[in-house]
Structure 1
Amino acid sequence: MTLRISLRDGEKVVINGAVIRSSGRTDLAIESKVTILRGREIMGPAEATTPARALYFHTMMAYLDPDGVSRHHDAIIETLSTVGRLATCEAGRAAVAGFASRAAAANYYRALGECRTLMRLEQEALAAVAEEAA
């Protein structure tokens, strides 16, 4: 099955660890199994500033580096433990469970989707705490 991706001018994509930047509007047709993340899905280490964001970063690295996944596995487990303790709402617990299931099956791309849910919930909780403190 072919994966079709349209990139805007200057947009980055990582394909099997190679960072590619489009020059002009670019359409790609990926016809084999690859690890791929679009620019908006890529997080740098400096952006992993909260537990949920750190979980996303370590999971992203496991996804992009399948040969070195064991190096990232311990960080995922440790960070998931922290995120799990912080997930007190039903949606958070469901996202943690979904993440754990996908990560255990080495489906890291789908686990990243659960991380995005956890990051959103975490941001909402931090905003609520800041609002209460003000």
Structure 2
Amino acid sequence: MTNTLKISLKPNEKIYINGAVIRVDRKVTIELMNDVQFLLESHVIQADQASTPLRQLYFIVQVMLINPAGADDAREMFRRSLPLLIASFEDAEICSALKQIDRMVGEDHIYEALKAIRSLYPLERRALGGNDDVPGAPRPLAVGARY
């Protein structure tokens, strides 16, 4: 990190920094003055929210950041899942981005990888026929699953 980064948090908001969960009791601004891996609470998804292939990938990568003790297992799951995921999409833009995400994870740029995955959600929604949030719509059972 070449510059410091200031993050403003609301009362009772959480931030995950290098695997630690921090909750603030009042509005605060935190200044990160060196390289850290962090994730804002608003960017954390729960397992039951990992309802599409890219959201499942996001969840796997998120574990690397939130749970350093489980990072090796999550990294292995990422390595097994990514080729299946790339093969499941025909969209060249998604496939290209997934290769960049692989590079980011390999270089331990986890936050950037998560940000890149989130940016693909609209493309994924289009590729899956736009049924991402439709109740009763078919959901993939695992990363790489095809309809």
TM above 0.5, yes or no, is yes
- 5+ long unaligned stretches in structure 2: 133-147
SS at match of 2:6: strand
> How much identity, in percent, do the aligned residues show?
28
Q: CA deviation at 1:90?
A: 2.5
In the alignment, which residue of structure 1 is the partner of 2:60? 58
Does structure 2 conserve the Cα–Cα contact (< 8 Å) formed by 1:54 and 1:79?
no
Does structure 2 conserve the Cα–Cα contact (< 8 Å) formed by 1:5 and 1:29?
yes
The structure richer in helix per residue is 1
Instruction: Give the TM-score normalised by the residue count of structure 1.
Output: 0.81
Larger RCO: 1 or 2 (CA < 8 Å, sep 6+): 2
RMSD (Å) for aligned C-alpha atoms: 2.5
Instruction: Give the TM-score normalised by the residue count of structure 2.
Output: 0.75
- 5+ long unaligned stretches in structure 1: none
In the alignment, which residue of structure 2 is the partner of 1:95? 97
SS at match of 2:30: strand
User: Do the aligned partners of residues 23 and 125 (structure 1) sit closer, same or farther apart at CA in structure 2, a change above 3 Å counting?
Assistant: same
SS at match of 1:37: strand
SS at match of 2:128: helix
Within the candidate set 101, 110, 113, 1:111 is matched to 113
For 1:114 and 1:32, how far apart are their aligned partners in 2? 22
SS at match of 1:112: helix
In the alignment, which residue of structure 2 is the partner of 1:74? 76
For 1:92 and 1:106, how far apart are their aligned partners in 2? 21
